[in-house]
Structure 1
Amino acid sequence: MATISQSFEGGQRDPMTRERTFYFRMSLVFLIAAIAGFGFFFAIGVSSFHSPWWVHTHAVTMVGFLGLYVMQTWLVARGDLALHRRLGILVAGWCIWLVAFGCWTITRTIAQGRIAPFFTPSFFLMMDWLNMAVFAALAGSALLLRMRSDWHKRLMFGAMLSLMSVAWGRLILPQFFDQRAIVLVLVVLLAHLGVAMRFDRRVHGQVHPAHYWTGGALLVWIAVTFTLAGRPSVIAYASSFAG
Structure 2
Amino acid sequence: MMAAANTLAGTPRNAFASERRFFLGMAIAIAATVILGFTVNAARMHWTFFALPIQVHVHAAAFLSWIILYVVQNWLIVRGSITRHRQLGVLGAGIALTMVVLGIVTTVMAIQQHRVPPFFPPGIFLVLDVLGVIGFGILTAWAIALRKQAAWHKRLMLCGTILVMSPALGRLLPMPQLGKFAPLAVFASMAVFVIAGMIFDLRVRGKIHPAYYWGGGVLVVTNVLVGPLGFSLPVLRVVERLAA
TM tier, shorter chain? over 0.9
Structure 1: 4+ residue segments shifted above 4 A: none
Q: How does 1:183-194 map to 2 (within 5 A)?
A: 183-194=184-195
**Further displaced range: 118-127 or 85-94:** 118-127
Structure 2 residue runs without a partner (length 5+): 1-10
Q: Deviations over 1:177-197 (max 9, x none)?
A: 635411011111111111111
Show the counterpart of 2:77: 76
Quick check: 1:173–1:182 contact (8 Å CA) kept in 2?
no
Q: Given the alignment of the two structures, is residue 42 of structure 1 paired with residue 57 of structure 2, yes or no?
A: no
Alignment length, in residue pairs? Answer: 233
**Paired AA for residue 54 in structure 2:** W
Q: Tell me, in whole angstroms, the C-alpha distance in 2 between the residues paired with 1:216 and 1:241.
A: 31
Structure 1 residue 27: deviation in Å?
Answer: 0.7
Q: Tell me, in whole angstroms, the C-alpha distance in 2 between the residues paired with 1:166 and 1:37.
A: 8
Q: Tell me, in whole angstroms, the C-alpha distance in 1 between the residues paired with 2:46 and 2:110.
A: 14
Larger radius of gyration: 2
Q: Given the alignment of the two structures, is residue 113 of structure 1 paired with residue 153 of structure 2, yes or no?
A: no
- CA gap 1:31/1:240 in 2 versus in 1, 3 angstroms: same
Structure 1 residue 158: deviation in Å?
Answer: 0.3
**3-state DSSP class of the match of 2:148?**
coil
- CA gap 1:91/1:179 in 2 versus in 1, 3 angstroms: farther
TM-score relative to the length of structure 1? 0.92
**Paired AA for residue 24 in structure 1:** L
Show the counterpart of 1:13: 13
Q: Tell me, in whole angstroms, the C-alpha distance in 2 between the residues paired with 1:234 and 1:204.
A: 44
Quick check: 2:127–2:229 contact (8 Å CA) kept in 1?
yes
**Further displaced range: 59-68 or 42-51:** 42-51
C-alpha RMSD of the superposition: 1.3
Quick check: 2:175–2:182 contact (8 Å CA) kept in 1?
no
- CA gap 1:120/1:208 in 2 versus in 1, 3 angstroms: same
Quick check: 2:27–2:70 contact (8 Å CA) kept in 1?
yes
Identity among equivalent positions (%) equals 35
Q: Tell me, in whole angstroms, the C-alpha distance in 2 between the residues paired with 1:141 and 1:201.
A: 23
Quick check: 1:103–1:129 contact (8 Å CA) kept in 2?
yes
Q: Deviations over 1:131-152 (max 9, x none)?
A: 1111011101000000100000
**3-state DSSP class of the match of 1:178?**
helix
Q: Tell me, in whole angstroms, the C-alpha distance in 2 between the residues paired with 1:46 and 1:183.
A: 27
Show the counterpart of 1:27: 27
**Paired AA for residue 18 in structure 1:** S
Q: Tell me, in whole angstroms, the C-alpha distance in 2 between the residues paired with 1:179 and 1:66.
A: 29
- CA gap 1:165/1:235 in 2 versus in 1, 3 angstroms: same
Structure 1 residue 75: deviation in Å?
Answer: 0.3
Structure 1 residue runs without a partner (length 5+): 1-10
